[in-house]
């Protein structure tokens, strides 16, 4: 019984953190949103060199969660869940370059070297069609037309790892919004004192702290034993906690938080998109109930 990250896992988290903190990920996300993928692809290569694209096949789901929490904390753009969680398990091998899969639309298919789709429980190659605009401007979503079937492994396991990776990404994004909100309310003064000294603000932020603190063990628990029920529980809890963080973060920032220019918008819109990506909270709650009743 030792329910915390090992020293190696903590070191891995710290090295990703220092890489991403120095990389100006927000600028990469903003230019990615404008269709300029250069900075985002450089970041992709550096993260691939760190082993991110091989974690799903070579490491444990705990390392996958550590990585995706960092990706969420820094709002790294690109089809990471697709290329570094779903497809390596679905294809049984690390993905070379950028790849994506339609779930039901394909994220960033315009920049992917390979596009896949799932048809009746089997994996097919696919061609991107019409583009759609997401609330998260850095997520370009495409309809696809399936092509040839391709050999594949356990798609259910691939889906569950993708759900867990999305949960971890939400956890990181929620943590980032909370940290930025705390920094802001310590600086912003109204009526002659920091707004963070008012209980109305404190209690909202305390609730975010609580929600994130209880979402994290569900992520790590699911990483140790990634059953359908466990990954769905992690996704529901992280979506709820991150969404609470985003709503609270927006509220305590006031009008400045409502602008696209202020960086908080990058996380607020990403969290909104991820809450319903890879299964809505309603779908995951239904999955949990189903597994509990068949137990």
Partner 1 sequence: MDLELSESELAFQAEARAWLAANVPAEPLPSLDTAEGFVLHQAWEAKLAAERWSVVSWPKEYHGREASLVEWIIFEEEYYRAGAPLRVSQNGIFLLAPIIFEHGTPEQQDRFLPSMATGERVWAQCWSEPEAGSDLASLKSTARRDDERGGWVLNGQKIWCSRAALAQWGFGLFRSDPEAQKHAGLTYFLFPLDAEGVTVRPIAQLDGEEGFAEVFFDDVFVPDADVLGAPGDGWRVAMSTAGNERGLSLRSPGRFTAAADRLLDLYDEKPDPRVADRVVDAWLKAEAYRLYTWGTVTRLKDGGDIGAAGSVNKVWWSELDVALHETALDLLGPDAELESRWLDGYTFSLSGPIYAGTNEIQRNIIAERILGLPREPKGVQK
Q: At what angle do helices 25-33 and 264-276 cross, to 10 degrees?
A: 70
Residue whose CB is less far from partner 1, 50 or 291:
291
Q: Are strands 189-190 and 193-194 parallel, antiparallel or unpaired?
A: antiparallel
Verify binding: residue 255, partner 1, rule CB under 8 A: no
Binding mask 220-249 for partner 1 (x = CB under 8 A): xx-xxx-------x--xx------------
Closest CA to 238 of 270, 266, 262: 270
38-67 residues near partner 1, rule: CB under 8 A: 62
Verify binding: residue 217, partner 1, rule CB under 8 A: yes
Verify binding: residue 185, partner 1, rule CB under 8 A: yes
Alpha-carbon gap, residue 293 to 219, rounded angstroms = 22
Verify binding: residue 145, partner 1, rule CB under 8 A: no
Measured CA to CA in angstroms, residue 65 lies from 35, 113, 261, 265 at distances of: 28, 25, 30, 24
Residue selected from 113, 210, 259, 260 as contacting partner 1 according to rule CB under 8 A: 210
Verify binding: residue 294, partner 1, rule CB under 8 A: no
- Interface segment toward partner 1; rule CB under 8 A; list 45-53, 110-118, 190-198, 270-278: 190-198
Q: Residues 90, 104: contact at Cβ < 8 Å?
A: no
Alpha-carbon gap, residue 206 to 11, rounded angstroms = 28
Residue whose CB is less far from partner 1, 92 or 282:
282
Closest distance between partner 1 and the C-beta of residue 278, in Å? 17
Closest CA to 81 of 46, 111, 55, 113: 55
Verify binding: residue 199, partner 1, rule CB under 8 A: yes
Verify binding: residue 214, partner 1, rule CB under 8 A: yes
Alpha-carbon gap, residue 62 to 223, rounded angstroms = 5
Residue selected from 18, 145, 197, 259 as contacting partner 1 according to rule CB under 8 A: 197
Alpha-carbon gap, residue 222 to 230, rounded angstroms = 5
Residue whose CB is less far from partner 1, 45 or 290:
290
57-116 residues near partner 1, rule: CB under 8 A: 62
From its phi and psi, is residue 278 left (phi > 0), alpha (psi between -120 and 50) or beta? left
161-180 residues near partner 1, rule: CB under 8 A: 178
Residue 191, classified by CB atoms within 10 Å of its CB into exposed (0-12), middle (13-18) or buried (19+), is exposed
With contacts defined by CB under 8 A, how many residues of the chain interact with partner 1?
47
Alpha-carbon gap, residue 29 to 265, rounded angstroms = 11
Residue whose CB is less far from partner 1, 46 or 202:
202
Closest distance between partner 1 and the C-beta of residue 9, in Å? 7
Q: Residues 116, 101: contact at Cβ < 8 Å?
A: yes
Closest CA to 4 of 251, 227, 221: 221
Verify binding: residue 190, partner 1, rule CB under 8 A: no
Verify binding: residue 258, partner 1, rule CB under 8 A: no
Binding site for partner 1 (CB under 8 A): 1-6, 9, 62, 178, 182, 185-186, 193-194, 196-199, 201-203, 205-207, 209-210, 213-218, 220-221, 223-225, 233, 236-237, 282, 285-286, 288-289, 292-293
């Amino acid at each position: 019984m030792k329910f915390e990250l090992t020293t190696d896992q903590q070191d891995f988290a710290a090295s990703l953190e220092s890489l991403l903190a120095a990389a100006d990920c927000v600028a990469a996300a903003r230019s990615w949103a404008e269709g300029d993928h250069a900075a985002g692809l450089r970041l992709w290569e550096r993260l691939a060199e760190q082993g991110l694209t091989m974690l799903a096949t070579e490491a444990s789901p705990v390392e996958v969660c550590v990585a995706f929490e960092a990706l969420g904390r820094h709002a790294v753009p690109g089809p990471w869940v697709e290329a570094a969680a779903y497809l390596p398990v679905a294809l049984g091998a690390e993905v070379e370059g950028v790849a994506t899969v339609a779930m039901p639309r394909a994220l960033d298919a315009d920049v992917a070297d390979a596009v896949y789709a799932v048809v009746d429980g089997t994996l097919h190659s696919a061609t991107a069609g019409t583009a759609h605009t997401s609330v998260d401007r850095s997520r370009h979503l495409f309809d696809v037309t399936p092509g040839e079937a391709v050999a594949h492994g356990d798609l259910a396991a691939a889906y569950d790892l993708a759900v867990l990776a999305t949960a971890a990404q939400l956890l990181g994004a929620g943590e980032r919004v909370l940290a930025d909100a705390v920094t802001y309310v310590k600086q912003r003064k109204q009526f002659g004192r920091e707004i963070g000294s008012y209980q109305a603000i404190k209690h909202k932020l305390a609730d975010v702290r609580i929600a994130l603190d209880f979402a994290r063990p569900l992520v790590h628990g699911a990483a140790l034993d990634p059953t359908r029920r466990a990954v769905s529980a992690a996704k529901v809890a992280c979506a709820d906690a991150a969404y609470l963080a985003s709503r609270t973060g927006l509220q305590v920032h006031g009008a400045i938080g409502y602008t696209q220019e202020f960086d908080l918008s990058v996380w607020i819109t990403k969290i909104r998109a991820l809450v319903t990506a890879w299964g809505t909270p309603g779908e995951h709650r239904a999955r949990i109930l189903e597994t509990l009743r068949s137990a």
